[in-house]
Amino acid sequence: QSALTQPPSVSGSPGQSVTISCTGTSSDVGHFNRVSWYQQSPGTAPKLMIYEVTNRPSGVPDRFSGSKSGNTASLTISGLQAEDEADYYCSSYTSSSTPVFGGGTKLTVL
């Protein structure tokens, strides 16, 4: 199973919005509404930010939102804050009954 495709890096200024894309295929992102997003700060374990494409776990700010169109899922962070600077990974369930991660996107808050 090939990794999902994410841009290596995105950036934005405080208060702005940024969107991170996650492109898969009709065998993963396009077929299942089981896309998750994880945030990972340096030296720490990943943290679940979005599950089932659009749902936020309790405690995750509503500045974080997810969506999907066709084979591409997206994570949007609005009202960017310095603390949002981290690596972000998408993940999807696949037709092989296993998950696959994206390559990761480094978010820089300017």
Partner 1 sequence: EVQLLESGGGLVKPRGSLRLSCAASGFTFSNYAMSWVRQAPGKGLEWVSGISASGGTTYYADSVKGRFTISRDNSKNTLYLQMNSLRAEDTAVYYCAKDDIVLMAYFTFDSWGQGTLITVSS
| 17 residue type, one letter | S
Which two three-digit tokens encode residue 5?
């495709």
Which residue's CB is nearer to partner 1, number 25 or number 40?
Answer: 40
* Residues 53-72: x where in contact with partner 1 by CB under 8 A, - otherwise, as a string: ----x---------------
Q: Is 80 a binder of partner 1 (CB under 8 A)?
A: no
Instruction: Choose which of 48, 56, 67, 72 interacts with partner 1 (CB under 8 A).
Output: 48
Distance (Å, rounded) from C-alpha 28 to C-alpha 44? 27
Q: Is 31 a binder of partner 1 (CB under 8 A)?
A: no
